[in-house]
C-alpha cells in the first residue's frame, strides 16, 4: 500500500496492526463492543480520525491517502466481523450449556388423585346389580320423617326411631311432630319415594350417604354409606332375594363365598333377615376381622311389608317385593382387609394412596 507520504503510510499501517492485534485478544462481547467504538466508531473511531486529519495534506495527496484509509478500514471491518462470529458463538455456546435440559432424565411425577375406596366399591356394586337388572338411582340426604320413618311402617313413638336417631334440622308443614326434616338414617326412604313415583315392576339400587347419632368406634361412623335394593313385581319371593344377594356376594368376594340368612326384625319387612357372608379374610375359619365367627354381617333384608306397599298405593294382594340395605364401608373393609372404619374419613393421604390405581 502506498500513499503520498511515508509518515501517513506508517500511521495507517501502525493503526491496522494495533487494531488487529487487540482484536485477537478479545474474549467477550463487551470488550468487542469497546474495541469497535475505539477503532471503527463513526465519530470517535481512530480510523475515521485519520480521514478527518486529511485536511493537512496537499490536494494531490488526499485521494490516495483516503483510498488507503478506506481499504484499511474494509480489512479491519472484515477482521471485526470474523471475530464477532467467534466471540458471539462462544457466548451462545456458553448460554446453551447453562440452559441445557437433559431430555434423558425421568419426568417429575405428577401427583394424581384417586377414587375413594367407598366410590370404588359403590361403582363395583352398581355394575354387578346392573347385570342383575337393577337400575342405580340416588335420593335426598336431607329427608322428611314421613319417608325416613312413617311410610316405612315406623310411626311416631315407635322404638325403632330411637335406634335410628339422627340430626333433626327443621320441620315442614304445620305439625312438627308429624313431618320433621332430618338427615336420613338409612337409604330405605328411597323405597317409598321410588314406589310412589312409578308402578311395578321396580328394580333399583340406591347408594348414598346416611347419618346417625352414633358413638363412633372401629365399625361405626356418624356418617357412612349404604346401598339400598328394592325389587317389586308379581310373584316375587324370598328365593329371589336369596338368589340376588348370593350372586352379588359371589361376584364381590369370589365364587366359593357362602351366604347366611338369619331372622331379624325391621318394621318395613316381613319376614326380615340379616345376611352375612363367609369372612373374606380367613375364608370362614375364624379370625380377628370376623371376631372368630367365620361370618361377616353385610346388612339387613326381607320381603317388603304389606303396610309399606299399601302406604305407597300398591296392592299387596297383587304385588310383592324384597328389599335390602348394605353398609358400603363394611363391604370395603371386608374386601380390602381394613380393620377400622375411622380411616375412611380421617383424610390421611397414606390411607387413600393405598387405593391409587385400583380399577373395578
Ligand atoms: C333392612 C331391610 C330392608 O328391607 C331394607 C334395608 C334394611 C337396612 C335398614 N334400613 C338399616 O339401616 N339397617 S341397619 O341399621 O342394620 O344398617 C344396615 C347396615 O348399614 C349395617 O349392617 C351396617 O353395615 C351399616 N351401618 C349401620 N350403621 C352404621 C353402618 N355402617 C357404619 N357406621 C354405622 N354407624
- Residues 200-224 have pLDDT tens digits of 999 999 999 999 999 888 888 999 9
> Is 313 in the same domain as 174?
yes
Domain CATH code at residue 351: 3.30.930.10
Residues 91 and 166 in one domain: no
User: Which residues, 6+ apart, have CB-to-CB distance to 89 below 8 Å?
Assistant: none
297 CA closest ligand 1 atom index:
22
- Residue 4: what pLDDT? 42
Answer yes or no: are the C-beta atoms of 360 and 240 closer than 8 Å.
no
* 299 C-alpha to ligand 1 centroid (Å): 6
Same-domain check for residues 89 and 143: no
Assess whether 74 and 160 both reside in one domain. no
Cell of 191: 323405597
Total structural domains within the chain: 2
Q: Is residue 360 part of a domain?
A: no
Per-residue pLDDT reduced to its tens digit, 234-291: 999 999 999 999 999 999 988 988 999 999 999 999 999 999 988 877 888 888 777 8
CB atoms within 10 A of CB 72: 18
- Domain identity same for 77 and 124: no
79-96 pLDDT, tens digit per residue, is: 998 888 787 777 777 778
Position 112 in a domain: no
Asked if the structure places residue 255 within a domain, the reply is yes
Best mutation site among 191, 226, 263 for ligand 1 pocket (most ligand atoms within 8 Å of CB)? 226
Round the CA-based radius of gyration of the chain to a whole number and report it.
45
Domain shared by 128 and 29, yes or no: no
Same domain for 75 and 171?
Answer: no
Kindly list the distances between the CA atom of residue 258 and the CA atoms of 223, 251, 280, in Å, as whole numbers in the listed order: 29, 12, 10
Mutate to test the pocket of ligand 1, among 299, 309, 322, 333 (most ligand atoms within 8 A of CB): 299
296 and 158, same domain (yes or no): yes
Residue 244 sits in which domain range? Answer: 119-355
Q: Which residues are annotated as a binding site?
A: 270
Q: Are 182 and 166 in contact (CB under 8 A)?
A: yes
Same domain, 219 and 340: yes
Pocket of ligand 1 contains residue 297 by CB under 6 Å: yes
Does 346 share its domain with 236? yes
Determine, yes or no, domain membership for 106: no
Does 186 qualify as catalytic in the annotation?
yes
Amino acid at each position: 500500500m502506498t500513499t503520498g507520504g511515508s509518515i501517513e503510510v506508517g500511521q495507517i499501517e501502525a493503526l491496522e496492526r494495533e487494531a488487529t492485534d487487540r482484536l485477537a485478544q478479545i474474549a467477550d462481547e463487551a470488550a468487542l463492543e469497546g474495541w469497535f467504538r475505539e477503532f471503527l466508531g463513526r465519530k470517535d473511531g481512530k480510523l475515521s480520525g485519520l480521514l478527518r486529519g486529511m485536511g493537512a495534506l496537499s490536494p494531490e495527496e488526499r485521494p490516495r491517502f483516503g483510498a488507503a484509509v478506506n481499504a484499511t478500514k474494509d480489512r479491519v471491518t472484515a477482521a471485526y466481523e470474523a471475530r464477532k462470529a467467534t466471540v458471539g458463538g462462544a457466548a451462545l455456546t456458553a448460554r446453551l450449556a447453562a440452559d441445557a435440559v437433559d431430555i434423558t432424565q425421568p419426568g417429575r411425577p405428577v401427583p394424581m388423585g384417586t377414587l375413594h375406596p367407598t366410590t370404588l366399591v359403590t361403582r363395583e356394586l352398581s355394575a354387578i346389580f346392573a347385570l342383575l337388572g337393577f337400575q342405580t338411582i340416588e335420593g335426598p340426604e336431607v329427608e322428611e320423617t314421613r319417608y325416613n320413618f312413617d311410610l316405612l311402617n315406623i310411626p311416631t313413638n315407635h322404638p325403632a326411631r330411637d335406634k335410628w336417631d339422627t340430626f333433626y334440622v327443621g320441620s315442614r308443614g304445620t305439625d312438627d311432630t308429624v313431618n320433621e326434616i332430618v338427615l336420613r338414617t338409612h337409604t330405605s326412604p328411597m323405597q317409598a319415594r321410588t314406589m310412589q313415583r312409578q308402578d311395578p315392576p321396580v328394580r333399583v339400587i340406591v347408594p348414598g350417604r346416611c347419618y346417625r347419632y352414633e358413638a363412633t368406634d372401629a365399625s361405626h361412623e356418624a356418617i357412612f354409606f349404604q346401598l339400598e335394593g328394592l325389587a317389586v313385581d308379581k310373584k316375587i319371593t324370598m328365593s329371589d332375594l336369596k338368589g340376588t344377594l348370593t350372586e352379588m356376594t359371589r361376584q364381590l368376594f369370589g365364587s366359593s363365598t357362602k351366604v347366611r340368612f338369619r331372622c331379624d326384625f325391621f318394621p318395613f319387612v316381613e319376614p326380615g333377615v340379616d345376611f352375612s357372608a363367609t369372612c373374606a379374610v380367613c375364608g370362614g375359619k375364624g379370625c380377628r376381622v370376623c371376631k372368630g365367627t367365620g361370618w361377616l354381617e353385610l346388612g339387613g333384608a326381607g320381603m317388603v311389608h304389606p303396610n309399606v306397599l299399601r302406604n305407597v298405593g300398591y296392592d299387596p294382594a297383587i304385588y310383592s317385593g324384597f328389599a335390602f340395605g348394605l353398609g358400603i364401608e363394611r363391604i370395603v373393609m371386608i374386601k380390602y382387609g381394613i380393620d377400622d372404619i375411622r380411616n375412611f374419613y380421617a383424610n390421611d393421604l397414606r390411607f387413600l394412596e393405598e387405593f391409587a390405581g385400583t380399577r373395578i
